[in-house]
Amino acid sequence: MTNSATADAGRRWHDMGGDPAGQINRDEHDYALWEKRVDALMVIASKKKHFTVDGLRRVLEDMGPEAFETMTYYERWIHSITQNLMEGGVFTPAELGDKMAEVAARGASYGEASLGD
């Protein structure tokens, strides 16, 4: 396939360098414990070669622009980490589903579902 960089066929949503965009919003927020845990799981699982940062990026990209606009940063990360771990055979979708149901049954708040931990 040939293309010119002026035609956009094949351009992916995350590849946004040079696009027109609005004013930069400089509001900042601190990360919640669950978000820090997502970050830690990424660092640990990639250091132990269960997947690569490249794989993390691939799935984030494949999630598409709607996910970028509607999900928070670490929501997208846990989705991608989970996908990569399943691709790597660390656990199966059914194992994850059973565990998520077990977690949700513990209580309505994060603290309860995480056993106060």
Residue 98, token pair as written in the block: 């059973």
- Provide the minimum distance between the beta carbon of 67 and another protein in the complex, in angstroms, as a whole number: 11
- Provide the minimum distance between the beta carbon of 33 and another protein in the complex, in angstroms, as a whole number: 6
- Counting contacts by CB under 8 A, is residue 67 touching another protein? no
Q: Give, as ranges, the residues between 8 and 47 that touch another protein (CB under 8 A).
A: 9-12, 14-29, 31-34, 36-41, 43-45
- Counting contacts by CB under 8 A, is residue 63 touching another protein? no
Amino acid at the residue 14: H
